[in-house]
Structure 1
Amino acid sequence: MSERATQATPEEERDADGTNAGADAPPVTSGAESLVRALENEGVEAMFGVQGGAIMPVYDALYHSDVRHVMMAHEQGAAHAASAYGAVRGEPGVCLATSGPGATNLVTGIADANMDSDGLLALTGQVPSTMVGSDAFQETDTTGITAPVTKHNYFAGDADTVGDTVGEALALAGTGRPGPTLVDLPKDATLGETGREPGPARLPETCAPQLEADEDAVALAARAIERADKPLLLFGGGVIKGDATDVAREFAVEHGIPVAETMPAIGAMPDDHELCLEWAGMHGTGYANMAITHTDTLIAVGCRFDDRLTGGVDTFAPEAEVVHVDIDPAEISKNVHADYPLIGDAGRVLEQLAEELERPPDAREWREQCLTWKEEYPMDYATPDDEPLKPQFVVEALDEATSDRAIVTTGVGQHQMWAAQYWTFRHPRTWISSHGLGTMGYGLPAAIGARLAAEDDQEVVCVDGDASFLMTLQELSVAVRENLDVTVAVLNNEYIGMVRQWQDAFFDGRRMAADYGWCPEFDKLSEAFGARGWSVDDYDDVAPAIEAALDHDGPSVIDFRIDPAENVYPMVASGGANGKFALSEDQL
């Protein structure tokens, strides 16, 4: 989309003047129709929203459009579904809502997309511009509220320009470091008459991301990599968002450098590749955290060094020179000092490094050491006969029953960690979760967006927790109405599980407001929605229930009653050193 946003054909230039709308397209007559035409021109195929008064002119314009609209149960769900749709497709998703509470209900999803650098365009209705500031019905300062959590937002001026504004916002959302943009749409701008066709999407003149790193900086970084004894690649979410996965994998294999990932980068390197140490951080693998602790040259690509990755910054990669590749200059040395800053597109900068490197680092002993750590700190677990069903077993059974290309969405909490730890990911854009904001309830609406974005033969599995599922389970009505083939696996321990784990570890076991003590029967609740439901609490029933759910052509929910005492390990205490991870509570 960014290339289309920066280049225009002569025909498109004539479109910008409203003189060449296209032989098959009806003429634009209103601002709302111009807005929809702008989306159509940019190839938008689906959008997610909730109807309402101030956004109604846009919905009316969608009546004759081929853009698929999915009516969600709640605006937060619309934002999450759009974000996940975009993450799977590799382009900005689109959500829309009415003014006031509709817009404010989008904010959690917009903030989530902002933290995770997910391309997203939010369209919000607004009272007529002449009434703005009068405390009119369902009025709120949407641009003011969302300014801190968007790349940029706009207040649409009039019917003649609203289409161009939407095109610019969509282009900006997917350019450089992706992120959310928002266009607030007063009713006089969408209802107003206009015959002007929107032009090709244009980026703001100030938006010109640097794609190639400085050649001298690349040369210095290459020399550092060549002399490294213990080099480590750290792939961040920017590797996937920048479509740099193939280049990154080739760089690692060609130069024999082990790879650790951040959680947003899961799938950037196949989990079962001999160079892959999987993901690092608070609940990452012991071997990834040991590699970070002992590397002498850390090559970080497209990551922002958040606290859940680094633990204590002073103890993070303490022996390493740091090469940091990122398209956003603001991330360089923000949290971790970069000895070799390389500003540019992830794939292009890795190509520059590959061209500059005269020889690979001599890392044979280091690779052997990383394999030794894999043997010393395996990701295993016990399944005693006298204890309830273990969640790790459920995740592995789901993984075994699905293809390598299955898409996994999650909410946030213990279930999210178990899914990330025990599912073997081999492809990018198959792990869809909430990372930076940690938004419980993300999983189910994300599964809806992912299902619509995925290829027909890709399974979509939502691994959820009971607490997360309770936050957005109304979206099950959408999955049923749209007949979406998604499978929801609820790892049900009747707790806000991660809170309970922290209370036991750090608050002397005072379980305040973490213990539900009772949960709905999710299988029966799902049947009431019109989905299929199962309840499982025995190992022998796990595989048959999964097979039946996957075979069902439509939404299904399996309520797995898991061991409520099970915790997530390894674990690095908040602010602790990555190399001092705990494998049990008594080690914290």
Structure 2
Amino acid sequence: MSERATQPAPDSERNEPDEPTERPPVTSGAEAAVRALENAGVEAMFGVQGGAIMPVYDALYHSDIRHVMMAHEQGAAHAANAYGAVRGEPGVCLATSGPGATNLVTGIADADMDSDAMLALTGQVPADMVGSDAFQETDTTGVTAPITKHNYFAGDADTVGDTVGEAFELARAGRPGPTLVDLPKNATLGETAREPGPARLPETYAPQLEADDDAVALAARAIERADKPLLLFGGGVIKADATETAREFAIDNGIPVVETMPAIGAMPDDHELCMEWAGMHGTGYANMAITHTDLLIAVGCRFDDRLTGGVDTFAPEAEVVHVDIDPAEISKNVHADYPLVGDAGRVLDQLDEELERPPDAREWREQCRTWKEEYPMDYVTPDDEPLKPQFVVEALDEATSDRAIVTTGVGQHQMWAAQYWTFRHPRTWISSHGLGTMGFGLPAAIGARFAAEDDQEVVCIDGDGSFLMTMQELSVAVRENLDITVAVLNNEYIGMVRQWQDAFFEGRRMAADYGWCPEFDKLAEAFGARGWSVDEYDQVAPAIEGALAHDGPSVIDFHIDPAENVYPMVPSGGANGKFALSEEQL
């Protein structure tokens, strides 16, 4: 980030609060691209400098947009993704051509799988050199076509601003997702006086926001007559800003709620109607509810395999109401008896207006409460065994506020965080779901920190394997003095791989042992952060207290029980209702 962006302007250069800011005219394609971002209200972006993207960086020199220089382009994409997820708007990342653009690919694919709004800007060699195998040339639009909602090759300086604005709008419209604009240097260096117009969607893009009235009526009748109705909130509930509407619908109609992992926080975990999240490592009571419901009302959910297990055994007794803004998701994996295409909040409002009475689900609610008692999320802490990760997660949760933001990598630590942290608010659980990207946690914490309110804690719960993949981003956290706490649940394994090898590969632990891990507390100190190392239960609380009190980045290396596994567990392709509580039950 340039000195100009980090230092306050002299008094003589500051505008009075009520004085309108007069912006200089656009003179180049790069300035038009930046102006389009300014017009869209972009406040921060994440990237890595390089030759082909340099004209855009030069235009950013005079912009109020804050640029965060990341250590690696993958980190830039994950940070932008998390920033957007916390803010509820597209995050923006940028990189140069060739390896810069390809290093963004994992983060773009991650955003695509999770339907997260994000805009990527990539530099490119001049258009007349494309196809010549020029230095750092890659067919970026070709590479990213399968993993973007849409991508663009900017044509010339006069149109580049409008292209960037359209890409930003498209990323957040309808079903969100990543978009990309490839910026050849002739377009960014080219002269233009054309100011970008208001950002507009393509004329061909018009998502359906309200469901067909007749379809709503049929679904409402099904809800009224259901004996065992169950709401399934997917990530689309949060992305549509429909959390309050969804909660009110559940409470007003007395319908228990199960969440998918991306929807964690849509319903408060401690609400009496909340069964928490379902699927491979979801709660036993959530999976029992799905198995025995007679009407599943899925909202903003794509029914991925980690949720459903075997599709043939998923919700076997239920008719299905499926609300989704993307018609391609309807009956793609699970047949919808009552398809409702539209925005999650609007369709729930339609259903609420159409319902003449709530379903009589008193006995069903009592059954759901019974399952909570029968399959509690508990664990033991024997004195003769190492530190349990569940204890660490609960201690972190207890030490932070209800609004704390949790980011994670992918693996066992991710599951323990989702299982044992009590989430009460949307946009406080930031993780990689569909792509399952190890290394997501730390750069996501950086993006979340820039997006969060000042009084919100940001905690990254990571695994040793995930942390090793992107730990270079600690340099960014130290440089920017970001108040984030990284809790490494260190079992010196790729833990989920080790668990599967023990369960399904007769204990052959091939390439899963991370016994050569560095001392993460000392590594943190080398970066300029604070570090703690924890082995015993009585060390947990003081380390957490010290890390949270430290005004800056901190890392706690928790040496946890390497033999601990994640349960409940539904074997891949299995039936949700036949979850295992131990390896012997698999």
TM-score (norm 1): 0.96
| Alpha-carbon distance in structure 1 between the residues aligned to 2:218 and 2:87 | 36
| Alpha-carbon distance in structure 2 between the residues aligned to 1:98 and 1:573 | 42
Higher mean alpha-carbon deviation, 23-32 vs 392-401, is at 23-32
| Alpha-carbon distance in structure 1 between the residues aligned to 2:238 and 2:229 | 21
| Alpha-carbon distance in structure 2 between the residues aligned to 1:529 and 1:518 | 20
- In the TM superposition, what whole-angstrom CA distance separates every residue of 1:390-425 from its partner, at most 9, and x where no partner exists? 000000000000000000000000000000000000
| Alpha-carbon distance in structure 1 between the residues aligned to 2:72 and 2:328 | 34
- 1:325-344 equivalence runs, <5 A: 325-344=323-342
Amino acid of the structure 1 residue aligned with 2:467: F
State the match for 1:561 in structure 2. 559
Amino acid of the structure 2 residue aligned with 1:494: E
| Alpha-carbon distance in structure 1 between the residues aligned to 2:38 and 2:382 | 56
State the match for 1:365 in structure 2. 363
Amino acid of the structure 1 residue aligned with 2:544: I
Q: Residue 89 of structure 1: CA displacement?
A: 0.2
Identify the match of residue 194 of structure 1 among 173, 179, 192: 192
Amino acid of the structure 2 residue aligned with 1:229: D
Instruction: State the SS of the aligned residue for 2:291.
Output: helix
Amino acid of the structure 2 residue aligned with 1:389: L
- What are structure 1's unaligned runs of at least 5 residues? 1-21
| Alpha-carbon distance in structure 1 between the residues aligned to 2:183 and 2:516 | 44
State the match for 1:11 in structure 2. none
Identify the match of residue 44 of structure 2 among 25, 43, 46: 46
Identify the match of residue 510 of structure 2 among 495, 509, 512: 512
Identify the match of residue 322 of structure 2 among 324, 329, 338: 324
State the match for 1:422 in structure 2. 420
- In the TM superposition, what whole-angstrom CA distance separates every residue of 1:316-359 from its partner, at most 9, and x where no partner exists? 00000000000000000000000000000000000000000000
| Alpha-carbon distance in structure 2 between the residues aligned to 1:339 and 1:453 | 40
Amino acid of the structure 1 residue aligned with 2:552: G
State the match for 2:204 in structure 1. 206
Detail structure 1 runs of 4+ shifted over 4 Å in the superposition.
none
| Alpha-carbon distance in structure 1 between the residues aligned to 2:501 and 2:204 | 48
State the match for 1:577 in structure 2. 575
Identify the match of residue 404 of structure 1 among 398, 402, 405: 402
Instruction: State the SS of the aligned residue for 1:547.
Output: helix
| Alpha-carbon distance in structure 1 between the residues aligned to 2:516 and 2:381 | 24
State the match for 2:379 in structure 1. 381
- In the TM superposition, what whole-angstrom CA distance separates every residue of 1:43-102 from its partner, at most 9, and x where no partner exists? 000000000000000000000000000000000000000000000000000000000000
State the match for 1:352 in structure 2. 350
State the match for 1:10 in structure 2. none
State the match for 2:7 in structure 1. none
Identify the match of residue 528 of structure 1 among 519, 522, 526: 526
Instruction: State the SS of the aligned residue for 1:558.
Output: strand
Instruction: State the SS of the aligned residue for 1:165.
Output: helix
Instruction: State the SS of the aligned residue for 1:108.
Output: helix
State the match for 1:98 in structure 2. 96
- 1:237-276 equivalence runs, <5 A: 237-276=235-274
| Alpha-carbon distance in structure 2 between the residues aligned to 1:319 and 1:238 | 25
| Alpha-carbon distance in structure 2 between the residues aligned to 1:155 and 1:124 | 10
Identify the match of residue 73 of structure 1 among 68, 71, 74: 71
Task: Answer yes or no: is 1:168 the counterpart of 2:166.
Answer: yes
Task: Answer yes or no: is 1:134 the counterpart of 2:103.
Answer: no
Instruction: State the SS of the aligned residue for 1:193.
Output: coil
State the match for 2:300 in structure 1. 302
State the match for 2:310 in structure 1. 312
Amino acid of the structure 2 residue aligned with 1:407: I
Give the root-mean-square deviation of aligned CA atoms. 0.5
TM-score (norm 2): 0.97
| Alpha-carbon distance in structure 2 between the residues aligned to 1:23 and 1:109 | 35
Amino acid of the structure 2 residue aligned with 1:138: Q
State the match for 1:8 in structure 2. none
| Alpha-carbon distance in structure 2 between the residues aligned to 1:526 and 1:338 | 50
Instruction: State the SS of the aligned residue for 2:461.
Output: strand
Amino acid of the structure 1 residue aligned with 2:308: T
Amino acid of the structure 2 residue aligned with 1:453: A
State the match for 1:7 in structure 2. none
Q: Residue 518 of structure 1: CA displacement?
A: 2.0
Q: Residue 23 of structure 1: CA displacement?
A: 6.6
State the match for 2:15 in structure 1. none
Q: Residue 516 of structure 1: CA displacement?
A: 1.5
State the match for 1:215 in structure 2. 213
Instruction: State the SS of the aligned residue for 2:151.
Output: strand
- In the TM superposition, what whole-angstrom CA distance separates every residue of 1:460-488 from its partner, at most 9, and x where no partner exists? 00000000000000000000000100000
Q: Residue 517 of structure 1: CA displacement?
A: 1.6
- In the TM superposition, what whole-angstrom CA distance separates every residue of 1:267-300 from its partner, at most 9, and x where no partner exists? 0000000000000000000000000000000000
Instruction: State the SS of the aligned residue for 1:449.
Output: helix
Task: Answer yes or no: is 1:449 the counterpart of 2:447.
Answer: yes
- In the TM superposition, what whole-angstrom CA distance separates every residue of 1:409-447 from its partner, at most 9, and x where no partner exists? 000000000000000000000000000000000000000
Q: Report how many residues are paired.
A: 567
| Alpha-carbon distance in structure 1 between the residues aligned to 2:391 and 2:256 | 28
Instruction: State the SS of the aligned residue for 2:369.
Output: helix
| Alpha-carbon distance in structure 2 between the residues aligned to 1:199 and 1:523 | 50
State the match for 1:84 in structure 2. 82
| Alpha-carbon distance in structure 2 between the residues aligned to 1:30 and 1:37 | 10
State the match for 1:9 in structure 2. none
Instruction: State the SS of the aligned residue for 1:94.
Output: strand
- In the TM superposition, what whole-angstrom CA distance separates every residue of 1:93-132 from its partner, at most 9, and x where no partner exists? 0000000000000000000000000000000000000100
Amino acid of the structure 2 residue aligned with 1:320: A
| Alpha-carbon distance in structure 2 between the residues aligned to 1:156 and 1:466 | 41
| Alpha-carbon distance in structure 1 between the residues aligned to 2:349 and 2:286 | 25
Task: Answer yes or no: is 1:158 the counterpart of 2:159.
Answer: no
Amino acid of the structure 2 residue aligned with 1:476: L
| Alpha-carbon distance in structure 1 between the residues aligned to 2:281 and 2:565 | 11
State the match for 1:3 in structure 2. none
State the match for 2:544 in structure 1. 546
Identify the match of residue 498 of structure 1 among 496, 499, 514: 496
Instruction: State the SS of the aligned residue for 1:123.
Output: strand
| Alpha-carbon distance in structure 2 between the residues aligned to 1:28 and 1:322 | 53
Q: Residue 229 of structure 1: CA displacement?
A: 0.2
Instruction: State the SS of the aligned residue for 2:250.
Output: helix
| Alpha-carbon distance in structure 1 between the residues aligned to 2:516 and 2:568 | 28
Amino acid of the structure 2 residue aligned with 1:483: N
Amino acid of the structure 2 residue aligned with 1:59: Y
Instruction: State the SS of the aligned residue for 2:321.
Output: strand
Instruction: State the SS of the aligned residue for 1:114.
Output: helix
State the match for 2:482 in structure 1. 484
Amino acid of the structure 2 residue aligned with 1:425: F
Identify the match of residue 458 of structure 1 among 441, 445, 456: 456
| Alpha-carbon distance in structure 2 between the residues aligned to 1:469 and 1:237 | 25
Amino acid of the structure 2 residue aligned with 1:178: P
Instruction: State the SS of the aligned residue for 2:436.
Output: coil
Q: What percent of counterpart residues are identical?
A: 91
| Alpha-carbon distance in structure 2 between the residues aligned to 1:315 and 1:550 | 45
Identify the match of residue 55 of structure 1 among 50, 53, 56: 53
Amino acid of the structure 2 residue aligned with 1:91: E
